[in-house]
Structure formats: C-alpha cells, structure tokens
C-alpha cells in the first residue's frame, strides 16, 4: 500500500518535496492556502489531492484534515520555511513524528533562538528585542555600533539593516515598522531585534539529524555583498576556505541546532567565523534554499535530501551516504544599476562552460530592476558542477567578469 504524505504549503525549495514524494511512490496530499498554488509554484500534476486551509493556523489545518476523506497519514512535513512551526504544532496534536513545536518556533523567531543560545552557551551575538525607537536607543548602549536591525521572524534578508549611528537607526526603525507582512501574507511581528555585527566570512552548515546523531553534514561557502546589505551572491559546495576550522564550524552548528531542541531532519545553520571563533547567525529548521539542497548537494554528492527527509519521517531512521565527492556552485545575477531590464551579455559563455548545469532568468525585458538590497532583487542565476570547488569558484569569477546586465 502506498504511503500517504501530507505536505504543508509547498513553495520555493519545498516543491522538491512534492516531486521527491511522488518519485518515492507516495500518495501526495498538499495543504495549501490557495487552489492556484500548484500552478503558481510549479508542481501541477505532481500531487494527488489538495486540501484548502489557512496554513498559518493549526486549527484550520486540522479542520481541513478532519473534513477530508483522508483521516490517516504516514507523514506530515512542512514544505515552506514559514510553515515549519505550524506543521510541528499539527504533528504534535496528531501524535505524529517530527521536531517539536518549540524547536520550530525558536528557529522561526530569531529572538527566541538567541535566548536559547545564551542558555546553552552557544557562541552567538549580543542582542536585544525592541518595540520602540526609545528601547532601541537604550539597547545601543549595551550592544554598540555597528549593529544589525532586522525583523524577528522573516527570511530572505528582508529589511535587514546595517546600522552605524543613531541617525541611521532612527531612519531604519521608521522603515522597518512599516513591514507588516512577508511572503504569502505571513504576519510580521511588531518586535524587532538588534544584534551585534559579527565580522568574518559566512558559511552555512547543511546538517541532517537522526535521533540527535549526525546522519549527514557538510559546509557551504558563501559570498555576500558588503555592508550595508548582505545579499548572497554565490554558494560553493563544499567550502574551499577555512578548512582548518571546518570542525569548529560544524560543532557550533550542531550545538546550536541541539540548543533549539532539534532532534531529526534537515537544518540549515548559518555561521560566521569571527576573530573569536565560529559563532551562530541563525538556525533554520529546513533544508537549505537557494538551490543548495535541490541542486548543489545532489550535483556534488548525489544525495537527495528531500527524499531522505521523507524516508526519515516514514521510517524514523535513515542512512545517508554520498555516491561521489565532487563540487557544485551557484552564482546569482544582479543589475549593477537601477533601470528597466533589457538583456544580459555573456549568457552564451556561461552555457558553453564545462560543467554547466542550468540557468534561469526571473525577469522580463522592460521590468524594473535595481542594485541588490535583498534576495528579491536577483534577476537570475546559473549553476556549475565539477570535480573541484576551488576551480569552480575561479571559473564563476571569470565568467561574472564577462557578464553584463543591460538596462535602459
């Protein structure tokens, strides 16, 4: 008999959960906020049925399940970042396998996570949670400039501000308080977090736990824009730098995930290596996005983390072994000045490069584009793979020197 898998709001990286569940021969039921979502996100034809609910409300999801013909499921899995906490709450109420609501809520709310890091002695950043500019100005006395101001529960670098002085803090605080909703109408909290700015190269740790033990782990190298914004420009998997500190990076990521009470499944942990050592930026209770999990890990190691996650939820145990040890990288394309997008010079060179996997443009001619301030400003990307990560990085840097975004 087919295993029945319930996926909550598949979108972005979560589309791979739909396709992977079908590839594993499962019956795939998706809980969505809008019946047009499969077409919008690109998984039409890959699922067996839809249930409609308010995906940010656990009681609404439970009601949709109770009112359906599906009274039993073999697994319930969050298929978008914002649904991790509500999915955990539903799973707990149905007494099903998964991480705790506490863990998912902490990962989704950066202030709650910072509190846990402090309790568990995980190296992190000084921080304060504020609701008013007066509270923010008072917190600066303890944290100091420069610092980071950001929402407590959003993603994709939305309204993440680098602050150097009081005037900037006042300006950005006025701006951030206007942010009421994020992707898919997810409500943004009216508390904000101030964090000590940590200097150093940034990495992400792709960590997969099975009953508290590490079933898989590897480090992804990141390149980002310089302050005042921190837009990710490139991911290289596995990392080519700080190899001597790789164990420290992994140990810090594991300690951070366990501090939030994660026991099972994929987490994407962001780490900075500072002059005082590896320190956690944040733990995300999901597979890495930005094609890290969907492409880079599969191209480099032949591992489908989405399939392994489904297997874990179905069997409560999993074995993950690389089929080969190569490398893969993704480079994101941005406009160098504001204007209407016209074309890109150099795409032919990219597509002819040895190891080219795929590319995508997400803008159309005539569409307004701008210099990057967050991930939404990307106009496209391309992915390369090969036997050596250092060589891939050099190839991408050479290609990007010849790529030019034409605007008018």
Per-residue model confidence as pLDDT tens for the chain (408 residues): 899 999 999 998 999 999 999 999 999 999 999 999 999 999 999 999 999 999 999 999 999 999 999 989 999 999 998 899 999 999 999 999 999 999 999 998 999 999 999 999 999 999 999 999 999 999 999 999 999 999 887 765 567 899 999 999 999 998 888 866 665 666 777 899 999 999 999 999 999 999 999 999 999 999 998 888 888 999 999 999 888 899 999 999 999 999 999 999 999 999 999 999 999 999 999 999 999 999 999 999 999 999 999 999 999 999 999 999 999 999 999 999 999 999 999 999 999 999 999 999 999 999 999 999 888 899 999 999 999 999 999 999 999 999 999 998
Per-residue pLDDT at 155: 61
Residues 195/188, Cβ–Cβ less than 8 Å: no
Query: What CATH architecture is 327-407?
Result: 2-Layer Sandwich (3.30)
Q: Where are the domain boundaries for CATH 3.40.50.20 in the chain? A: 4-96
Of 345, 340, 354, the residue nearest 388 (C-alpha): 354
Q: Where are the domain boundaries for CATH 3.30.1490.20 in the chain? A: 126-196
Per-residue pLDDT at 54: 95
How many C-beta atoms lie closer than 10 Å to residue 129's C-beta?
18
Q: What are phi and psi of 387, to 5 degrees?
A: -80, -15
Tokens of 405: 């975004």
Query: What CATH architecture is 202-315?
Result: 2-Layer Sandwich (3.30)
Of 112, 308, 120, the residue nearest 191 (C-alpha): 112
Of 140, 76, 155, the residue nearest 109 (C-alpha): 155
Q: What are phi and psi of 212, to 5 degrees?
A: 75, -10
Residues 206/358, Cβ–Cβ less than 8 Å: no
Q: What is the side-by-side strand order in the sheet with 327-333?
A: 277-284, 265-274, 202-210, 213-224, 232-237, 327-333, 380-386, 356-361
Distance CA 385, CA 237 (A): 9
Q: Where are the domain boundaries for CATH 3.30.470.20 in the chain? A: 202-315, 327-407
Residues 236/392, Cβ–Cβ less than 8 Å: yes
- CATH dotted code for 4-96: 3.40.50.20
Per-residue pLDDT at 242: 84
Of 159, 121, 389, the residue nearest 255 (C-alpha): 121
Distance CA 357, CA 203 (A): 23
Q: Residue 29 is inside which H or E element, if any? A: strand 27-32
- The residues, any chain, with a CB within 8 Å of residue 243's CB and separated by 6 or more, are none
CA dihedral 380, 384, 390, 391 (to 10 degrees): -120
Distance CA 377, CA 81 (A): 19
Give me the count of residues in the chain.
408
Residues 213/170, Cβ–Cβ less than 8 Å: no
Distance CA 259, CA 269 (A): 12
CA angle 148, 271, 252 (to 5 degrees): 125
Of 231, 238, 227, the residue nearest 203 (C-alpha): 238
Q: What is the DSSP string of 294-319?
A: IIIHHHHH---HHHHHHHHHHHS---
Our measurement of the distance from residue 341's CA atom to the centroid of its chain's CA atoms, rounded to an integer in Å, reads 27
Per-residue pLDDT at 157: 58
Beta bridge partners of 81: none
Distance CA 323, CA 301 (A): 6
Q: Tell me, which fold does domain 126-196 have in CATH?
A: Dna Ligase; domain 1 (3.30.1490)
Of 357, 389, 362, 347, the residue nearest 223 (C-alpha): 389
User: In a 3-state reduction of DSSP, which class is residue 161?
Assistant: strand
């Amino acid at each position: 008999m087919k295993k029945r898998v319930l996926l909550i709001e598949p979108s972005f990286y979560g589309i791979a959960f739909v396709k992977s569940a079908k590839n594993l021969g499962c019956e795939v039921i998706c809980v969505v906020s809008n019946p047009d979502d499969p077409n919008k996100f690109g998984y039409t034809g890959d699922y067996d049925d839809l249930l409609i609910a308010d995906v940010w409300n656990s009681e609404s999801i439970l009601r949709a399940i109770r009112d359906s013909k599906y009274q039993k499921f073999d697994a319930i899995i969050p298929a978008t970042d914002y649904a991790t906490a509500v999915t955990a709450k539903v799973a707990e109420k149905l007494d099903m396998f998964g991480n705790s609501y506490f863990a998912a809520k902490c990962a989704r709310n950066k202030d709650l996570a910072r509190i846990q890091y402090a309790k568990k002695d995980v190296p992190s950043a000084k921080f304060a949670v504020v609701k008013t500019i007066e509270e923010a100005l008072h917190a600066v006395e303890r944290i100091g400039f420069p610092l980071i101001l950001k929402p407590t529960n959003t993603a994709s670098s939305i309204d993440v501000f680098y602050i150097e002085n009081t005037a900037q803090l006042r300006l950005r605080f006025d701006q951030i308080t206007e942010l009421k909703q994020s992707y898919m109408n997810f409500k943004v909290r009216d508390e904000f977090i101030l964090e000590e700015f940590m200097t150093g190269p940034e990495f992400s740790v792709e960590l997969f736990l099975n009953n508290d033990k590490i079933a898989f782990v590897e480090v992804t190298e990141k390149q980002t824009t310089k302050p005042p914004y921190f837009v990710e420009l490139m991911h290289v998997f596995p990392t080519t730098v700080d190899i001597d500190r790789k164990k420290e990076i992994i140990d810090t990521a594991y300690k951070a995930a366990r501090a939030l009470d994660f026991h099972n499944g994929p987490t994407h942990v962001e780490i900075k290596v500072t002059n005082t050592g590896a320190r956690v930026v944040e733990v995300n209770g999901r597979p890495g996005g930005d094609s890290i999990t969907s492409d880079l890990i599969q191209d480099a190691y032949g591992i489908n983390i989405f399939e392994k996650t489904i297997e874990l939820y179905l069997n409560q145990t999993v074995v993950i072994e690389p089929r080969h040890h190569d490398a893969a990288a993704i480079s994101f394309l941005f406009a160098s000045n504001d204007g209407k997008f016209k074309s890109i010079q150099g795409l032919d060179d990219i597509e002819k490069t040895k190891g080219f996997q795929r590319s995508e443009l997400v803008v159309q001619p005539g569409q307004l584009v701008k210099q990057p301030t967050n991930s939404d400003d990307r106009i496209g990307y391309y992915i390369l793979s090969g036997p050596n990560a250092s060589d891939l990085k050099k190839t991408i840097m050479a290609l990007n020197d010849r790529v030019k975004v034409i605007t008018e």
